Structure 1
Amino acid sequence: MSTAKTNTSVTCADLGFTWPDGTVVFEDFTLAVGPGRTGLVGVNGSGKSTLLKLMAGELVPTSGAVKVSGELGYVPQNLTLNAELRVEQVLGIERIREALNAIEAGDTREETFAVVGDEWDVEERARATLDRLGLEHVTLERQIGDLSGGESVLLYLAAQFLRRPDVLLLDEPTNNLDLEARRRLYEAVASWRGTMVIVSHDRQLLDQVDQIADLRGGEVNWYGGNFTDYQDALAVEQEAAERMVRVAESDLRRQKKELADARIKLDRRLRYGKKMWENKREPKVVMGERKRQAQVAAGKHRNMHQERLEEAKERLTEAEEAVREDKEIRIDLPETEVPAGRTVLVLDDVVLRHGGRAELDVRGPERIALVGRNGAGKSTLLRTVVGEIPAESGEVRVSVPTKYLPQRLDVLDDNLTVAQNVGVFAPGATDNTIRSRLARFLFRGRRADQEVRTLSGGERFRATLAALLLAEPPPQLLLLDEPTNNLDLASVRQLTSALQSYQGALIVVSHDVAFLRELGITRWIRVDEETTEIDPL
């Protein structure tokens, strides 16, 4: 385990942050991040995204301070861009382009040249940056509303790479990106020469970093190397920690036995002393003194063994705390079995908005993966199925209760608590029933009363998934759009396990091929100009 670099670019000093509902995230938190690429990891809810928002100035600390050396760039987990903005505006080059056009038209004013400054090649650099991230087809005049979610993320990343800030904060940057876009991002991150802090669950992306900062229990432990190196080091640590637990448990058993043996011996001595007193074999004064000394010695002996036992318990507690048992979501999916021959969904010669044709017949508990490049229409197809977007033509027939988990996780009311949101989806369920079910999603006690707006990305996902799965009636067709985007690796494993046991029909949009394979996908469909069944990836 290494220490942070001394030449720091971001410093958090005695940082404290508490949400308005009283939930404490950080208290007397200290962190120093130096130049290079740092991967910030930790379980969902540990405060990773909140920390990045504090660094970026999006949130104000309750106490302490954050200091950033130089210009800062920040790409949040959930982008909210004005759909009417043009690409050039997002890239921050609109005024420079206007000045360049004015100069070409004969404008010789000093202020016009001042706007351009040294940025005479800004259009060429902007175009090169867009091309590098796979946005060759996107013009500088195009509106954001015409781009897909993945393309919007790439555009925002392009804006940061074009600016080249001294410090760049990235929160789950590979969310919604297709395989080719992810590859391009990996290359861009690997070539970064400033200070970069990345929050991500993407192992390939985290293998591009120089060091790992593990946020756990309000503190950070540093590990040199990339994510693979971190996992190796952690495995060694955990093996040693588990060994110490076994040693501590053995010591505790020994101390308990010694205390029990000591008590037996003391009881024997007390019975012998009582017998001697009753038989009056020695003078009363002598026997009284012996009794007093025996009681003092017994007390000291008993206290010594009790102290050793307490020390052994403390050592066991410390050893157990060093062993990680990260909590995972536990989902008991509703009984949603669909007979093999039952029609679940039919898309009959459907023409989607923005083009593309979809022909699809889903029967029984099929598991379908929708794959394809960013902007191909995968999310549009799902939203057409649930009626959010009308089809241009053709017919959509859904025959079973259906629930849809969107990329943006915007189905919950930010101003309601987690429990209240679930109540909206299941109005017939009692408060006790809702809370007992939410516990399986790790929302226990006060956590069920957190307002949704205070949740981390992973917590919001769990809350959204809980609301959908606990809805009335339970879904027999689940539509999932990039469901692993905001989950830590432990939660991805648990989600995979839960979906493997799901008896209904499943349609999943994902760029995580390993996740899709583990789900037991039965049909792979590429979405482009038209839906086409393909061989398994």
Structure 2
Amino acid sequence: MSVPLSASSSVTLSALTYEHPDGTRVFDGLDATFTIGRTGLVGRNGSGKSTLLQLISGQLTPARGSVTTSGHVAYLPQDITLDPAVSVATVLGIDAVRTALRRIESGDGTGDDFDTVGDRWDVEERALATMHRLGLDRILHDENDFDRTVGTLSGGETVLLGLTARLLAEPGVLLLDEPTNNLDTAARERLQDALDRFPGTVIVAGHDRDLLDRMDTIAELRDGSLRMFGGGFSDYEQIIEAEQEAAQAAVRDARSDVRRQARELSAAHVALDRRARYGKKMFENKREPKIIMNMRKRQAQESAGKYRREHEGNLESARAQLDRAQDAVRNDREIRVDLPDTSVHPGRRVADGPLEIVGPERIAVRGPNGSGKTTLLGRIVDAGPLVPYALLPQRLDIFDDTASVVANAELRAPHLPPQEVRARLARFLFRGTDADVPVGVLSGGERLRAALAILLAADPAPQLLILDEPTNNLDLPSLAHLTQALQAFEGALVVVSHDERFLDEIGVTRSVVPGDAGAPEECARLDG
């Protein structure tokens, strides 16, 4: 990979403002600079990470402000979708060059062919070398395999192929949106190595902790603002944790001050009432001339008013300080999953066919990209599980994108009252009008959250969950709560995932690996 190192490779955001077509404002006056090095872009699902990358890449146009880039920009989207009939060479952008090279080599080349090739005489060798570094040896052994179609590749191989195409374009700025989705452990390591070697400006949006820990800088998108933190994700977490401890302490102090000021105001009212009763008694007894009594009364009233306003002002200031202190505390919304009664008796047979499942087993389907993991899940479904089940596919193609979240959920729970469907969706943060949003406008993470919500809100409730890469696009707080939900799930679970930490935390009881021939019936059993 011969990427030219440019000292001026950078991205500058100036007063960047962007609104969705429905008028929802995402950014308002965003200023930031990304220079040579690796920056991890983090934030809650829906915070605007993908939108920001699309603005930088030029796919979206800001309402106001500007994006200035130095060096060619290459962008790998979150959910790369390719025509399955397209060739590998077409995806890599080398199809025309290869065709021209063949004509030149056969002696039939024209001036146009030489112009097409330019200085890219070694384009096939460079493509093979880059693919080799990214672990795509299995799909491409020589230049003849450039003609194979994308439809023969796995999801992870498609992501790596897309990355290869971007690297071959020799960009100065590389934008990656959730690049480790669907990648096995070996592929993730190769991707990390490629980013370590990349000499330009890299911005990676994602929730992969291991990848984010390799970053030089973390940029956090929150409430439409962008904040930079030096170091990797662990350093960022330590800073946020320290800030939150200080913020919580400030809230406690502010609440204590509000209580104290409220007590003092109450005591002031008691003192003023006592003084008013004494003054009234003195006035009624007329122990002094009337003009003096009236003067004293006015002075007392003025003094009382000033005294009252002082204490009321102190209380108001204390409450304002409490509001400011609470604003500094992160109150991130989190998924709260109360799964319905889905318990499976230990001896009950849950599924036969390509994979025998008995009782509340937790089965991890492991294996490299392209080994047949998703195919195995399809065979389990085709064989017909013996209990109610739910399948979360890798591509999340379970929706009517034009319909709302709640409308999609009601289709899977036709016998539940509408208010119960909405209550179940609310546990996944689709509350009120959020549940009425068309699925097609959701971000990647929101789409996954909607898929989980709709599957688990189904009636009857699933006793077997079949999950294909469920952690893709899920932000870290939501991932933690998904993990807790699955830990509490009492049914059977089959999950494809390359996230070893996630698999450990949900308590996998055994693992299967599709056989070398790719036939699910030939799964090799491993101890969990």
What interval of TM-score do these two structures reach, taking the shorter chain for normalisation?
over 0.9
Shift of 1:397: 4.3
Tell me if the contact between 1:21 and 1:450 (Cα under 8 Å) persists in the aligned partners: no
Residue 431 of structure 1 is matched in structure 2 by: 418
**1:428-466 Cα shifts (integer Å, max 9, x gaps):** 233322222211111112211111121111111111111
Distance, in Å, in 2 between the alignment partners of 1:72 and 1:12 is 15
**1:162-196 Cα shifts (integer Å, max 9, x gaps):** 22212111110000000000010111111111111
Residue 102 of structure 1 is matched in structure 2 by: 103
Amino acid at match of 1:86: S
Aligned residues: 512
Residue 357 of structure 2 is matched in structure 1 by: 362
**1:58-86 Cα shifts (integer Å, max 9, x gaps):** 33334444333332111111111010111
Residue 355 of structure 1 is matched in structure 2 by: none
Amino acid at match of 1:114: D
Amino acid at match of 1:82: D
Higher deviation after alignment, 110-119 or 207-216: 110-119
Residue 282 of structure 1 is matched in structure 2 by: 288
Shift of 1:27: 3.1
1:153 pairs with one of 137, 159, 175:
159
Amino acid at match of 2:498: H
Residue 56 of structure 2 is matched in structure 1 by: 55
* Paired residues for 1:338-487 under 5 Å: 338-347=344-353, 358=354, 360-387=355-382, 396-487=383-474
Is 1:83 aligned to 2:106, yes or no? no
1:487/1:22 CA distance change after superposition, 3 Å: same
Amino acid at match of 2:476: L
Residue 17 of structure 1 is matched in structure 2 by: 18
**Aligned partner of residue 375 in structure 1, secondary structure:** coil
Is 1:113 aligned to 2:114, yes or no? yes
Distance, in Å, in 1 between the alignment partners of 2:254 and 2:282 is 42
Shift of 1:220: 0.9
**Aligned partner of residue 74 in structure 1, secondary structure:** strand
1:7/1:89 CA distance change after superposition, 3 Å: closer
Tell me if the contact between 2:133 and 2:190 (Cα under 8 Å) persists in the aligned partners: yes
Residue 525 of structure 2 is matched in structure 1 by: 533
2:258 pairs with one of 244, 252, 261:
252
Amino acid at match of 2:470: P
* Paired residues for 1:293-372 under 5 Å: 293-347=299-353, 358=354, 360-372=355-367
Tell me if the contact between 1:413 and 1:452 (Cα under 8 Å) persists in the aligned partners: yes
Distance, in Å, in 1 between the alignment partners of 2:207 and 2:227 is 18
Distance, in Å, in 2 between the alignment partners of 1:443 and 1:210 is 35
Higher deviation after alignment, 9-18 or 327-336: 9-18
Residue 3 of structure 2 is matched in structure 1 by: none
Amino acid at match of 1:129: T
Identity among equivalent positions (%) equals: 54
* Paired residues for 1:36-55 under 5 Å: 36-55=37-56
Distance, in Å, in 1 between the alignment partners of 2:327 and 2:422 is 28
What's the Cα RMSD here?
Answer: 1.7
Amino acid at match of 1:446: T
Tell me if the contact between 1:368 and 1:508 (Cα under 8 Å) persists in the aligned partners: yes
**1:73-104 Cα shifts (integer Å, max 9, x gaps):** 11111111010111111111111111222221
In structure 2, runs of 5+ residues without a counterpart are 1-6, 141-145, 517-521
**1:224-277 Cα shifts (integer Å, max 9, x gaps):** 111111112212222222222222122222212221222222112111111111
Residue 4 of structure 2 is matched in structure 1 by: none
Higher deviation after alignment, 41-50 or 62-71: 62-71
Shift of 1:341: 1.5
Distance, in Å, in 1 between the alignment partners of 2:388 and 2:280 is 80
Is 1:179 aligned to 2:171, yes or no? no
**Aligned partner of residue 387 in structure 2, secondary structure:** coil
**1:335-369 Cα shifts (integer Å, max 9, x gaps):** 1111221111112xxxxxxxxxx4x2111111111
In structure 1, runs of 5+ residues without a counterpart are 1-5, 348-357, 388-395
Residue 228 of structure 2 is matched in structure 1 by: 222
